[in-house]
Structure 1
Amino acid sequence: MKATEKDIEKNQGMSDAIKAARNALSGGIDYSNGAYFWDGADIKSNYKNHTKVKSGIHITDPAHNVYGISDSGKTKILYKTVKKKVDGHVKTVQEEVGRYSWVYESTAGVGGTIFWRYGRDWVTVTRAKEYR
């Protein structure tokens, strides 16, 4: 994110990413398969502390796993508090909203990059936007 135009030009990976994004946006092949996010080698070197790993990742195809990392998902259940009338009394109860096991799922692995999108279950349960 802090890279300058010169930094991007000097770095083959970053310049390739820019070319691929421009290609996809101009109607060409989308090598990321619809991803909105990506990671490089830092996902392996900083696995335990990586933000996406802590949120939960799922490799959807072994070909995407360019760093040999493992899934980090755990089933999470979201609840909402509601008031219900039971036997003439109002009680506060917890109702399940939904479940998800990871926030990010892989869409492609190209060179040294793993591409991600938000997991469908997470988007549905949290009512999130796919691109934020």
Structure 2
Amino acid sequence: MPKQVLDVGNCGYDHSSLKNLIERNFDAKVLQSHGPTDTLKMLREQSFALVVINRKLDRDHSDGMDILKDMKADEQLQDIPVLLLSNFEDAQANAQEVGAVPGFGKRDLGKETTLKKLQPYLG
């Protein structure tokens, strides 16, 4: 059975790029959520090997870090690996301080280093 990845807050184009990258290279299926309410609901109802959160959510431009913080504060969800999708190094550092695994930016989607970052969770 394929592992599931939850893509949080990406626009259609970026979601499609991430989905294609993951589903082409791993036995995994990528699902999408858009904000805190649907994300937390899906996380409680299904099993995910990885959550990828956009730094700024496409739907309302709210901060994806808020969802990361909510997950890490929730006993049921805190052990799910989460990475931040952001080109900004300071955002990546802040996410890791809160408990995220090392993430990557959208401009890194086609790079070998990105696949290596995903391998521990999806391989």
TM-score between both structures, scaled by the size of structure 1: 0.29
Q: Counting helix residues as a fraction of each chain, which structure ranks higher?
A: 2
TM-score between both structures, scaled by the size of structure 2: 0.30
Q: Counting strand residues as a fraction of each chain, which structure ranks higher?
A: 1
